[in-house]
Amino acid sequence: MTKTAILGYGTVGSGVAEVLCGHADSIARKADGPIALKYICDVRDFPDSPYQDLFTKDFSVIERDPEVGIVVETIGGIGVALDFTRRCLRAGKSVVTSNKELVAMHGYELTHLAAENGVCYLFEASVGGGIPIIRPLTQCLAANDLLEITGILNGTTNYILTRMARAGAPFAEALKEAQANGYAERDPSADVEGHDACRKICILASIAFGRHIYPDQVPTEGISHITPTDMDYAEQSGRKIKLLGRAVLMPDGTVSACVGPHLVDLENPLAGVEDVFNGITVRGDAIGDVMFYGRGAGKLPTASAVVADVIDLARNREHRKPLLWEKGGPDAVSAQPMATRWYVRAQTRPEELRTALGGGQLLARRGNENGETACITAGALTPEELRQRLGALQPLSVLRVLD
Ligand code: HSE
């Protein structure tokens, strides 16, 4: 019998309890024995919860209980979650988490701490909600040298962009809907300013390319400045605007990564990833491109990934190998920011803009009578090269283009 505890009874934690208890019989078959939920730790009271007997406000009860072999951390954030995770690992308990902020910032330390204590730190749910992506990267695609990862990694912003494109919904209204559905972070600026997607691409890049990549090493831009005008130009050019996280292995072994809104051609499968769904394309040298798609946020999809990690640990208790990568550092990332083509919108005459950009494709828009124009650059440029080309021209909007 495996005994578990849940730290943090929020959206994901309550989903984990529901899935663990609701699917107990089938989980017992898959885990080679029953998995019992022994404690739920939260400082709040939940008088209506069906798990009344399991609640404790005292984490040390769990820490000191030798029967608890696996702890699920769904507190989120760094402070208490980091402290409790370290203490669980030191106490010889494996930890499963959906906490992308913690893994992106402290994944190197925590995976190594787990290994030193003969246990595991698993985090399938930290990227892509219910989509299997960590295990495919480490196991199913293990034969490949991985070259590139490009993904729609944030359900809230994808939901907002979809609602803005389809219904012309204002940004604030679409955000409220996403929050009401339990997709958004407590502080939704982490979603709309791209920080959540940044944490996720850092986790994927660390696993895929073998060295820890930190969020402050990845240039990150959100979607709050996207306007209906940009949506219109994108549509007229046969593209959609998507918030993408990208990480590319460079020839010198460094990683070039960025997060920001991109114009994505309708023929690219990522353009068809709508609403709260996430989509992640991974390029390997043997397999070529492979894509992962599914619900990237929400209570039960995320709980699905957490519980799968718990089952994996229960099943492979004695021989589950730890998931590890090497230390990060300034030399892990490329000195040169990523070069892409760019969409530029400016209050200027079309030929003036095109000449400034050194050529490119001018875009049309229905009912454009503001004297503004938009153009997609002919070739890939770094942000600095683009800035030099624009010179004194003040663009209204600048977005990357995914090729
Ligand atoms: N706020 C996140 C999102 C939750 O919208 O994708 C899942 O990580």
Interval 140-190: pLDDT, tens: 999 999 999 999 999 999 999 999 998 888 888 888 888 888 888 778 999
**Catalytic site includes residue 100:** no
Rounded to the nearest angstrom, the distance between the alpha carbon of 287 and the centre of ligand 1 is 28
**What would the mean pLDDT of 367-380 be, rounded to a whole number?**
86
Mean pLDDT throughout 239-258? 97
Q: What is the pLDDT of residue 369?
A: 65
Rounded mean pLDDT of 198-216?
98
For ligand 1, atom 7, the nearest C-alpha belongs to 297
Active-site residue among 3, 93, 100, 200? 200
At 264-305, the pLDDT tens digits run 999 999 999 999 999 999 999 999 999 999 999 889 999 999
Residue closest by Cα to atom 1 of ligand 1: 184
Query: Is it the case that residue 363 has pLDDT exceeding 80?
Result: yes
Q: Where in the chain is the domain with CATH 3.40.50.720?
A: 2-130+299-329
**pLDDT recorded at residue 368:** 63
Task: Assign domain 2-130+299-329 one CATH number from 2.40.30.10, 3.40.50.150, 3.40.50.720, 3.30.2350.10.
Answer: 3.40.50.720
Ranked by mean pLDDT, the top range of 109-118, 158-167, 364-373 is 109-118
Span 134-295: which CATH code? 3.30.360.10
What's the 155 CA to ligand 1 centre distance in angstroms? Answer: 5
Asked if residue 15 has pLDDT above 70, the reply is yes
Per-residue confidence band for 364, with pLDDT thresholds at 50, 70 and 90: confident
Share of the chain above pLDDT 70, in %: 99
**Closest to 151 in 3D by CA, of 246, 218, 241:** 246
For CATH 3.30.360.10, list the domain ranges present in the chain. 134-295
Residue 62 near residue 85, CB atoms below 8 Å: no
Q: Which atom of ligand 1 is nearest to the CA of 278?
A: 6
Q: CA angle, 153 as apex, 214 and 162 as ends, to 5°?
A: 145
Q: What is the pLDDT of residue 172?
A: 86
Which has the higher per-residue pLDDT, 318 or 328?
328
pLDDT one-digit tens code per residue, 31-85:
999 999 999 999 999 999 999 999 999 999 999 999 999 999 999 999 999 999 9
Reported as a pLDDT band with limits 50, 70 and 90, residue 367 is: low
Distance between Cα 252 and ligand 1 center (Å):
33
CA of 394 to the centre of ligand 1 (A): 33
Alpha carbon nearest to ligand 1 atom 4, residue: 297
Bridge partners, residue 293, by sequence:
279
Inform me whether the pLDDT recorded for 215 exceeds 70.
yes
Distance of CA 128 to the CA centre of its chain: 6
Ligand 1 atom with the shortest distance to the CA of 183 = 5
The rounded mean pLDDT for the chain is: 95
